[in-house]
Amino acid sequence: MIVLETQNLTKKFGGLTAVNAVSMTINQGDIVGLIGPNGAGKTTFINAISGLNPPTSGMVKMFGKETTGLTPEKMCRLGLSRTFQIPSPFPKMTAIESVMTATIFGNPAGKITDPVAHSREMLEFVEFPMKETVVAEQLNTVQLKRLDLARALASNPRLLFMDELASGLSEGELKDIMRIIDKISKKGISILMIEHIMQLIMAVCNRLLCIQFGTKIAEGPTQEVANDPKVTKAYLGE
Ligand SMILES: Nc1ncnc2c1ncn2[C@@H]1O[C@H](COP(=O)(O)OP(=O)(O)OP(=O)(O)O)[C@@H](O)[C@H]1O
């Protein structure tokens, strides 16, 4: 089953075409790595899908329904969550309060009867390394990314975008993230992850999408895309 499809998705900032007619699909159960050199348009692409910065043209279809240009709130209610390259939680809120905002927002039908327990479960699921009462502004970047992930999962998404979740992690922390990504996938959540760390991409992704200068240059099984001379050239030059 196709969970997400873009057709000719384009985003322009004035004269700059940051994303240029990108068409792609994500199937149920996929862990797709979105790769490409710095400034290739990866974050702009997921912003255009998730509603943060709507596309200039093109089409987005999620779970079989056209969602082009819908706001992030609507996309969230339809089952899309995301994390951010630079997480920006409410600085004065505790970790559990922060996750509770997403638990409550993402479950409007009242299916979750105990938001505190659900939010605690999310923190445990992502192996949040601090007490739930820690205030967000006291967290370092790695801890903030874990909190951001718990927040993203709290609304029970069916599709998750992750933007450079692993940047700045040590070798041991990378192993932890691999395990957590595997757990997320086993929950039935399809994943699109922007990542630069090839070790992680090769270990967890079943498919890759590579963009350069806003344009798709490769899409397919991980090993095939990683071996594609166009992809190597985009990263390493001639
Ligand atoms: N809000 C904006 N206004 C103008 N230009 C922007 C805006 N956001 C991104 N850009 C430009 O669009 C291009 C793509 O940027 P984007 O952040 O999407 O790349 P990226 O592939 O995610 O890069 P990185 O791997 O370094 O995070 C860059 O040239 C960037 O300067």
Q: Tell me how far CA of residue 141 lies from CA of 34, 88, 230, in angstroms.
A: 22, 10, 33
What is the per-residue pLDDT for 64? 95
* Superfamily holding 2-236: P-loop containing nucleotide triphosphate hydrolases (3.40.50.300)
Average pLDDT over residues 167-172: 86
* pLDDT above 90 as % of the chain: 87
Is the model's pLDDT at 192 over the cut of 70?
Answer: yes
DSSP 8-class letter at 85: S
Is the model's pLDDT at 230 over the cut of 70?
Answer: yes
Average pLDDT over residues 34-62: 96
Beta bridge partners of 81: 160
Q: Is 33 near ligand 1, meaning CB less than 6 Å away? A: no
Question: If you measure from the C-alpha of residue 53 to the centroid of ligand 1, how many angstroms do you get, rounded to a whole number?
Answer: 12
What is the per-residue pLDDT for 87? 87
Cα gap 15→56, rounded to integer Å: 12
The pTM for the full model equals 0.95
What is the per-residue pLDDT for 72? 95
Residue ranges of the domains in the chain? Answer: 2-236
What is the per-residue pLDDT for 110? 72
Cα gap 8→122, rounded to integer Å: 35
Q: Is 115 near ligand 1, meaning CB less than 6 Å away? A: no
Q: Output the residue whose Cα is nearest ligand 1's atom 31.
A: 39
Average pLDDT over residues 168-185: 92
Q: Which atom of ligand 1 is nearest to the CA of 164?
A: 27
Is the model's pLDDT at 76 over the cut of 70?
Answer: yes
170 CB-contact burial (10 Å; exposed 0-12 / middle 13-18 / buried 19+): exposed
Element (H, E) at 7: strand 2-13
